[in-house]
A and B are shown apart, each in its own frame.
Chain A
């Protein structure tokens, strides 16, 4: 279930099954600000990768919550989306980027999601604050 949805914030259980709810929330926000299709797709990709990462790893063996906040920074024509969870502390930016020059046979299946989010966004920040992981993406549209 959706725990709470206010104007610019959505709280859901951090499970893969809730991904469509998160995408719907983000889509409706992006439509309100007339975001270009290309940026919209890039933002959707980053949001999916980040949320799925939290759903998979934040709460091993239990179901916890994730809070998604959307912010449009008008003077910069930019979107900032943050994801907060109270799961195990994890800084995705510390993870080594996959080696994208390897051949198909050498490449591992996986490890691409966070890398894609970093590449498609203008900024990606992580902080651990008040017992929460906070991942924030920023994209000029």
Chain B
């Protein structure tokens, strides 16, 4: 189960995730992300309520980062310890801006 909440204010967009970002739910997020980044130059992922991420979820974050590298910036906020551990192990802590 994954809940996605998007708020947009001009070029600023915040995507809040709740639940699990895994093989079963990552496509849902991928569609949301790809359909809504036009004109966004400041993207924030709020992971406060995200319990779990697998490599399928990492792939979506990486593709969002690649898009934002071309058109603005992206930050990831409020990740729990367990999510941060996954970022560390995979080197994502170096390629994402984690706050």
Contacts and interface: CB of A to CB of B under 8 A. Distances in A.
Interface in B41-83: 52, 54-56, 58-59, 62-63, 65-66, 69, 82
Given A104-B95, A107-B95, A116-B89, A44 B69 contact: no
Contacts of B94: 100-101
A48 interface: yes
Contacts, number: 60
Contacts of B52: 41, 44-45
A100 B62 contact: no
A16 to B, nearest CB: 6
Contacts of A116: 54-55, 86, 89-90
B54 A48 contact: yes
B95 A45 contact: no
Nearest to A16: B23
B83 to A, nearest CB: 10
Identify which of A19, A44, A112 gathers the most chain B CB atoms within 10 Å of its CB: A112
Interface residues of B, number: 22
Query: Which interface class (under 10, 10 to 19, 20 to 34, 35 or more) fits A?
Result: 20 to 34
A19 B59 contact: no
B22 interface: yes
Contacts of A52: 23, 54, 56
Contacts of B4: none
Interface string B82-93: 100010011100
B58 A103 contact: no
Contacts of B24: 16, 19-20
Interface of B: 22-24, 52, 54-56, 58-59, 62-63, 65-66, 69, 82, 86, 89-91, 94-96
